Amino acid sequence: MSTTLDEAAEAAASFRPPLVLASASPRRLDLLARLGIVPDRVDPADVDETPRKAELPRQLAGRLAKAKAEAVAARSPGALVLAADTVVGVGRRILGKPEDAAEARRFLELLSGRRHRVTTGVALIAPDGGLRTRLVETTLAFQRLTDAQIEDYVASGEWEGKAGGYAIHQRAEVFVRFLSGSHSNVVGLPLFETAQMLRGIGWLHP
C-alpha cells in the first residue's frame, strides 16, 4: 500500500528526534518527568565551571548552559540536546558548590536574613544545530538563621553538590520566607520556560 502525501507529511510532523539531557542531575530528571518527559539518553557535559574574572551570575549561567549543550551536541548527531546550569548569586558574588562543610557554613551565614537570586540558563540545540537559550531568574529571601539551624543543616550533608550550599526541594525550604518567580528554577530547571522552548520547536505537544 502506497503512502499518500498527507500521510507522509503527518509522519514527518510527528517525528521527534531523540532527546539528550546534558546533565547528571537527578533533580532535572525529576522535573522533566513532571512534563511527561523521559530523556532518551543522559550524557553529562564535562566543562570547566570556574567563573571568569568579574563574570556576573547571569553571565555564568548562560555561558555554562550553552557550553554544556554544545559539548554534548558535538557527540550526539541527530539528537535534540537540552542543557541547563543553575547559579546562586548574592549581588555580584557567585556562590558555587561548597568544597567542604566550612564553606557551606559561610554560604549559609551570608544568605541568612537577606535576599539572593537564583539564575538558570537553559540551552537547547536542535539536530540542525539551531541554538535556543533562556535565562530565568528567581528572587528569594532566607529568614535569619540561628547558629543551631546552620550547624544542623551543615551536619545533614544536604549542601553537598548544591549551588549556594542548599537544596530548596529538601530541608532548606523551611528557611525561605520570600520567593518571587519560578520555584522549579531554584530546584534546577524552570519548567514553564523549558516547556515553551520544546513546544516552540514542535518537539513537545500540546
Residue 206's pLDDT is 81
- Give catalytic residues, as residue numbers: 85
Cell digits for 105? 557554613
CATH number of the domain that residue 72 is part of: 3.90.950.10
Per-position pLDDT tens, the chain of length 206: 445 545 443 444 457 999 999 999 999 999 999 999 999 999 999 999 999 999 999 999 999 999 999 999 999 999 999 999 999 999 999 999 999 999 999 999 999 999 999 999 999 999 999 999 999 999 999 999 999 999 999 999 999 999 999 999 999 999 999 999 999 999 999 999 999 999 999 999 98
| SS3 state of residue 119 | strand
Angle (CA) 161 167 169, round 5° = 135
* 102 is a domain residue: yes
* 119 neighbors 136 (Cβ within 8 angstroms): yes
Q: What total number of domains does the chain contain?
A: 1
172: nearest Cα among 92, 121, 116: 116
* 12 is a domain residue: no
* 121 is a domain residue: yes
* 128 is a domain residue: yes
* 3 is a domain residue: no
Q: Residue 106 sits in which domain range?
A: 17-200
d(CA 20, CA 40) in angstroms, rounded, equals 6
Residue 1's pLDDT is 45
* 21 is a domain residue: yes
* 205 is a domain residue: no
* 49 neighbors 57 (Cβ within 8 angstroms): no
Cell digits for 144? 535569619
Residue 12's pLDDT is 43
Residue listed under C-alpha cell 530523556: 39
Residue 182's pLDDT is 98
Residue 6's pLDDT is 53
Residue 89's pLDDT is 98
Cell digits for 161? 553538590
d(CA 119, CA 82) in angstroms, rounded, equals 17
Residue 27's pLDDT is 95
* 8 is a domain residue: no
pTM above 0.85, yes or no: yes
